[in-house]
A and B are shown apart, each in its own frame.
Chain A
Amino acid sequence: QKEVEQDPGPLSVPEGAIVSLNCTYSNSAFQYFMWYRQYSRKGPELLMYTYSSGNKEDGRFTAQVDKSSKYISLFIRDSQPSDSATYLCATTTYSGGSNYKLTFGKGTLLTVNP
């Protein structure tokens, strides 16, 4: 059973569009939910982090978690060409010792066209 599923896209939108990116997860033990942005040939960069069900907003970005349906979303408003990147959802839970290993989705490649 795949732990985190994410539609890999690619997704292409015009500048200014609202973008919706989604993931589902299977393990109800997951407690923390993150969105990373990864530019080509770079490491993942943390974009948003949520803990509880509900919405969290940061500028043009809104992260949404629904623990009852195990569904994670990222919305980007007024998308810009600079938002073009691969977006990775990730989850984690405390797994003992000193460890918060991340479990990633496959990533969605987003292109915002000027």
Chain B
Amino acid sequence: AQRVTQPEKLLSVFKGAPVELKCNYSYSGSPELFWYVQYSRQRLQLLLRHISRESIKGFTADLNKGETSFHLKKPFAQEEDSAMYYCALKSGGGADGLTFGKGTHLIIQP
């Protein structure tokens, strides 16, 4: 069965410090991974996907198949990065609903 693990429920860092939100997955096939974000009083929305290898709002994430990880990183945190972050894994085939981790609440302190 596929599973997504986010070991940190809460992560607090100071503005300007580096941020790393951890995500590990368990999946027997070829994984497709995503990070979703929910800012206060806003809807859950896509932040980035591993296949695009893009940087969004300064965040990047690299898929490491050897370590089955997809950690989210940003070199310099900003106060507006405070939010709930969810790592998600897409199942293969026709059913492509996402399996989400429990989420990490990121707080950026001034």
**Is chain B found bound to chain A in the same assembly?**
no
A residues neighboring B (CB under 8 Å): none
